[in-house]
Amino acid sequence: MPPADSQLPGVDHVFADPELLRAALTHRSHSNTNNERLEFLGDAVLNFVIAAELFHQRPEDNEGSLSRLRSRVVRGETLARVARRLKLGDHLRMGEGELKSGGYLRDSVLADALEAVLGAIYLDAGFDAAAQVIRETFEPVVDRLPDAESLKDPKTRLQEWLQARSRPLPVYELVREEGAEHAKRFHVICRLEDTGFEAEASGSSRRKAEQAAAGAVLSANEAPQP
């Protein structure tokens, strides 16, 4: 059995250089020698491997669809979920302040640490070893991906729906902002110019409010009429 400091539970790789694993699990709050550079490297390796997997597994999907699928796999929320499955937070080395504030539970911290571990494996044993770990670790995520069409954001889907019917593009209007600077809510109207139909929605940013309003317009207009 390998020493505890040379292998991360749940990851099928034994480090020839345990210091790489130690660095990958070190948050910047703990030391100037931390996992930020390894995170940068791991992010690049992860993106390539997932892109290659999707390319081979989804031969009918175009570039846009593949990009949306890859984004769903490599986004912070998904990485954090995978890191929790591996109990990565239990092994992080963090400064006292970060530990007390629950930093080891944050999505961003867990996602960064997972990417750093992948970068460390790449440095320790090369691309093939890192790719194998990525394929094994992310297989459940890739297998459960929905159809790429369903991953399009509401504004894109509304635009495509209108273009397919030779109708003008929607207009978005910010009608008001409310709340304190750090907790603003944006209210936006999405209007169909040719019919005058509109829907209002709000969000924590103008972009999110526009997406929500577009989704409301699309739902109302795609629904079968009684």
- Show which of 106, 130, 146 is a domain's final residue: 146
CA distances in angstroms from 135 to 20, 84, 105, 127, listed in the order given: 21, 17, 25, 12
Task: For residue 50, give every residue at least 6 positions away whose Cβ sits within 8 Å of its Cβ, in sequence order, or none.
Answer: 70, 73, 74, 134, 138, 142
pLDDT at residue 103 in the model: 67
Angle, CA 69 vertex, CA 113 and CA 185 arms, to 5°: 75
- Same domain (yes/no): 125, 78: yes
State the number of CA atoms in the 13 A half-sphere of 192 facing the CB. 21
CA distances in angstroms from 119 to 38, 88, 131, 180, listed in the order given: 5, 15, 10, 40
- Same domain (yes/no): 158, 142: no
- Same domain (yes/no): 137, 168: no
Measured distance CA(132)–CA(57) in Å, rounded: 16
Structural domain harbouring 25: 4-146
- Same domain (yes/no): 86, 197: no
Residue position matching structure tokens 């273009």: 163
Tell me the catalytic residues: 43, 115
Number of domains comprising the chain = 2
- Same domain (yes/no): 98, 52: yes
- Same domain (yes/no): 97, 168: no
- Show which of 146, 181, 206 is a domain's final residue: 146
pLDDT at residue 96 in the model: 80
Q: What is the CATH number of the domain that holds 213?
A: 3.30.160.20
- Same domain (yes/no): 121, 62: yes
- Show which of 84, 115, 146 is a domain's final residue: 146
**Tens digit of each residue's pLDDT, the chain (226 residues):** 344 588 898 899 999 999 999 999 999 888 888 999 999 999 999 999 999 999 999 998 889 889 989 998 999 999 999 999 999 989 998 888 777 777 667 889 999 999 999 999 999 999 999 999 999 999 999 998 887 776 778 898 898 889 989 999 999 999 999 988 888 999 999 999 999 999 999 999 999 999 999 999 988 886 544 3
Task: For residue 73, give every residue at least 6 positions away whose Cβ sits within 8 Å of its Cβ, in sequence order, or none.
Answer: 50, 54, 138, 141, 142, 145
Which runs of consecutive H residues, i.e. helices, occur in the chain?
A: 18-24, 36-57, 63-74, 76-85, 96-100, 107-125, 127-143, 154-163, 206-222
Angle, CA 46 vertex, CA 40 and CA 50 arms, to 5°: 155
Query: Phi, psi at residue 204, to the nearest 5°?
Result: -75, -10
